[in-house]
Structure 1
Amino acid sequence: MSMRAPIARARGLGSAHEGVSHWKAQRLTAVANVVLVLWFVFSAATLSGAGYEEVRAWLRSPVSATLMILLAISVFYHAKLGVQVVIEDYVHHEGLKVASLTALTLATCALGAVCVVSVLMVALGS
């Protein structure tokens, strides 16, 4: 017995089967953000009052640089997932929805790339 309405069966409409993976990705990045932000806050607290050279020396550590890059990627991906849901739910004009989702993807990728390059520049001494 199907739970779908007869008109939905006739049109072939139904679930796109992408909601669960999107939900899981959002929850996974949320958990990662909690861990990474706590690490960052603790690290920033221990570096309070330190000068640029001390912070740069801290960031030269492979562990610190890697965790900072993971933090940037996780935060921007999580933000993209959240804003994507808002756009999909509240933007009803299809052209505007596609343009908004494209702009969102480009913006989050660009900002994430800037963060990663900035961390690498400071860590590698450029």
Structure 2
Amino acid sequence: MRSQLGRARGLGASKSGVEHWWVERVTAIALVPLTIWFIVSVLTLLHSDQPEVRQWAGRPVNTVLLLATVIMTFHHMQLGLQVVIDDYVKKSHLAVTLLNKGAALLLGLFSIVAILKMAF
């Protein structure tokens, strides 16, 4: 026979909510320097033509930083929207959650392919 506390221990939102909270914070912190780098890069490329931008994007450091920015941005977006969905969407919660994850994945993949086509 187990007590009520013994049965309840390990249950609740704290099992999955803490990880979600941490990942959301880590992506937000990672996006601060990536966003600053991206804005500075765009401003320096403001009056460049397409071959110059392709050459810039073809540099390995810039390619990796662009990919990291896109991945972190769409993952952070998906995590943030998931919190809103969990808090406010009551009807068709599963469908909206799948739409959120699918849209973030699809838009992220389109962005990654565009960066790789530009870089190579």
Distance 2:49 2:13 in 1: 54
Which residue is equivalent to 2:62?
A: 64
Which residue is equivalent to 1:55?
A: 53
Q: 2:31 aligns with which of 29, 33, 36?
A: 33
Percentage identity across aligned positions? 40
Which residue is equivalent to 2:109?
A: 113
Moved over 6 A (4+): none
TM-score (norm 1): 0.84
* Structure 2: stretches of 5+ with no match in the other structure: none
Show the 5 A alignment for 1:87-126. Answer: 87-93=85-91, 96-124=92-120
> Does residue 1:80 correspond to 2:67, yes or no?
no
Distance 1:109 1:16 in 2: 26
- Aligned residue for 2:15, secondary structure, equals coil
Deviation of the 1:45 alpha carbon: 1.3
Distance 2:22 2:66 in 1: 23
Distance 2:23 2:11 in 1: 25
* Structure 1: stretches of 5+ with no match in the other structure: 1-5
TM-score (norm 2): 0.89
Deviation of the 1:113 alpha carbon: 0.3
- Aligned residue for 2:80, secondary structure, equals helix
